[in-house]
Structure 1
Amino acid sequence: MTKVLALDLDGTLINEMNEIIGGQETLNLLKVLQDDGYEVVVVTGRLDHDIIHIAQKYDLNIKYRISQNGAVLQDDNSIKGRILNKKTALKIYEYIKERNLRVELNTISNRYWHNERGADFPREFYNSSNILDDFTEVIYYQPVIIFLMIGDSNEINNVRRYIEENFDDVDAIKTSDKTLEIIPKGVSKGKALKEIYPNAEIISIGDSESDCSMFKHSKTSYFIGKHNLGNADFYMPSIKEVLKNIVKENIYGE
């Protein structure tokens, strides 16, 4: 049976500085698992080119890549994506561009912004961004995957309710109190992972709500990282600690 290790990127494998959490020891543990036959799959909200960058920089052998939270599945020879219906996307854009929110748009391989992101936003490893005053032509002529909105939580909730009440072919998913993604209906990291590996023995690791969809398709899953509960921070195991446990249990049988 194929053995798979599915990893989220931000907050799981890499930190806010875009460095590997746990450093070289984490990379050594990943190599031990790969040498034992595990296929490492990165499953992320980022675009595919950022997975490629991480794989090249840290010499990770990644056969399949799942990006944009499960909407795009890719290897070195093929790509499969779920895209927004153009008529739906145009109607949604006409509504959201008038809200008091930052609106961004992702195609298969590019991001489109109305203006530059601030310094506190995560940076792409490969810059695929384009600044346009209006996204209408992009929606007409390119395969649109995701709308991302960023701003006040009340406005985010208002947009989410509007989308849910008026469109049945998309999902509006809050990725934080201040961010909302509009994606094709039924897209998730877990469904994409299961599509590529319907009969594999999967171990999955993630740190956010979007990663939980992988867990129900996994033999074993780990929720890791720093989280906030009320006014207090609490810490789950780091990826280094989790990988040590996976090696111990699945390779050495302890």
Structure 2
Amino acid sequence: MIKKFEKYVLITDMDGTLIDSKGNISEENINAIRYFVEQGGKFTIATGRMVESARRYVKDLPVELPVILYNGTKIFDFIKEETINEYFLEDEIKELIKEIKKNQSSLGIEIYAEENVYIFNSCRFTERFSKKGYEVFYKIPNELWERKWTKILILGEEEEMDVLEEHFEDCYGKTNLIRSGENYLEIIPKGTSKGHAMEHLCKSFNLDISKVIAVGDNMNDLELLLKASYGFCVENGNKKLMNQVKYKTKCNDNHAIAHVIEWLEKNIVKV
């Protein structure tokens, strides 16, 4: 007997999409995802988070496929506890952030390397880790500059981020810069994105890209939503993103993923 979601793949962003504004995944979303998987679908996550930050949510979900982390820079299999694919920042970016710190000292700068977070420059947004119990390093060891970096996160007030995003290339040169939130700008390795990682995942695990459903809320999700056959933006999402994708769904506080699965069942699935 063919199950109704056989060969379909659901990929969702976490913050602002799967996770509500209180930091939880609703029972409605969890139950809907379990139903999707029980009916033959495959489920995974595409997030800007690192391994341990994603793990505390992944453990409660039926995630059978590897998870896309760091906005596409890393693909990690939580079942096998192994990295499937990973890219690293170009060495010249390491010098660039010294310039940013020198010229715009009010901005927070975080370095992500070897699953650790190093605070290169503090601001009020870099203090969020202390509230969540994550270990971060405020002392930058000299050897960090010789290690492989996964990404850099620049943090500041929304207006600061707007200006920096608009003029970044003029001031600092061309990089793979993405806006992952009102207060977040990320630099990730060239050629990487959630969409690129999704294509890698489909090719590696023989998944039909024409049956991929993706859900997100911000501009770091754009490529993922455009490359998926059914790309949904939640109604609390970035307006630029909303204007560029075909499908819309409920906000993250109104069980967005459950609504997407319900829509899929009513409009697409033929059994």
Smaller-chain TM-score bracket = 0.7 to 0.9
Kindly, what percent of the aligned residue pairs are identical? 21
- What do you get for the CA RMSD once the two structures are aligned? 3.0
Paired position in structure 2 for 1:203? 213
The answer to whether structure 1 residue 26 and structure 2 residue 29 are counterparts is: yes
User: Partners of 1:159 and 1:95 in 2: how far apart?
Assistant: 15
Partners of 1:90 and 1:120 lie apart in 2 by: 22
TM-aligned CA deviation for residue 209 of structure 1: 1.5
Deviation at 1:227, TM superposition (A): 4.4
In the TM superposition, what is the alpha-carbon distance from 1:177 to its structure 2 partner? Answer: 4.9
Q: Quick one: which amino acid aligns to residue 39 of structure 1?
A: K
Aligned to 1:232: none
Show the counterpart of 1:45: 48
SS in 2 for 1:144: coil
Evaluate the alpha carbon distance shift between residue 91 and residue 3 of structure 1 in structure 2; reply closer, same or farther with a 3 A threshold: same
Deviation of 1:72 (Å) = 0.7
TM-score norm. by structure 1 comes to 0.81
Quote the offset at 1:102 in angstroms. Answer: 1.0
Partner of 1:129: 136
* Structure 1 residue 91 displacement after superposition: 1.4
C-alpha distance in 1 between matches for 2:130 and 2:234: 22
Alignment partner for residue 194 of structure 1, among 167, 190, 199? 199
Deviation of the 1:105 alpha carbon: 1.0
SS in 2 for 1:172: strand
Stretch moving more, 112-121 or 64-73 = 112-121
2:101 maps to which residue? 97
Residue 145 (structure 2) pairs with residue 139 (structure 1): yes
1:236 and 1:122 map into 2 onto residues whose CA distance is: 30
Match among 185, 188, 191 for residue 190 of structure 2: 185
Structure with a larger share of its residues in strand: 1
Alignment match, 2:73:
71
**Offset from partner CA, 1:164-211 (integer Å, 9 cap, x none):** 66545x312233454321111121100100111035220111111111
The size of the alignment, in residue pairs, is: 241
Contact 1:112–1:130 (Cα < 8 Å) also in 2:
yes
Question: How many Å separate the matches in 1 of 2:192 and 2:126?
Answer: 30
Opposite residue 246 of structure 1, the aligned amino acid is L
**DSSP 3-state at the match of 2:137:** strand
CA distance in 2 between partners of 1:154 and 1:119 (Å): 15
Moved over 6 A (4+): 122-126
CA distance in 1 between counterparts of 2:160 and 2:123 reads 23
Structure 1: gaps spanning 5 or more residues: 230-234
1:29-62 CA-to-partner distances (Å, cap 9, x unmatched) read 1111101221111000111222221121x24233
Contact 2:178-2:219 within 8 A present in 1 as well? no
Question: Please, what TM-score do these two structures have when normalized by structure 2?
Answer: 0.76
CA distance, structure 2, for counterparts of residue 32 and residue 115 of structure 1 = 43
Matches of 1:228 and 1:2 in 2, distance apart?
30
Q: Could you tell which deviates more after superposition, 103-112 or 64-73?
A: 103-112
- Specify the SS of the correspondent of 1:173: strand
- Give the corresponding residue for 2:253: none
- 2:74 touches 2:83 (CA, 8 Å); kept in 1? no
Report the CA distance between 1:5 and its aligned residue: 0.5
Decide whether aligned partners of structure 1 residues 161 and 116 sit closer, same or farther in structure 2, where only a CA change above 3 A counts: closer
SS at the partner of 1:18? coil
Q: For the Cα contact (< 8 Å) 1:48–1:65, is it kept in 2?
A: no
Per-residue Cα deviation, 1:107-162 (whole angstroms, up to 9, x for no partner): 24121114485598477967242222x4653131x220211111253476347635
Report the CA distance shift for 1:68/1:135 in structure 2 as closer, same or farther (over 3 A). Answer: farther
Aligned residue among 43, 60, 85 for 2:90: 85
Say which is worse superposed, 158-167 or 184-193, in terms of deviation. 158-167
CA distance in 2, matches of 1:191, 1:51: 20
Paired residues of 2:44 and 2:63 also in contact (CA < 8 A): no
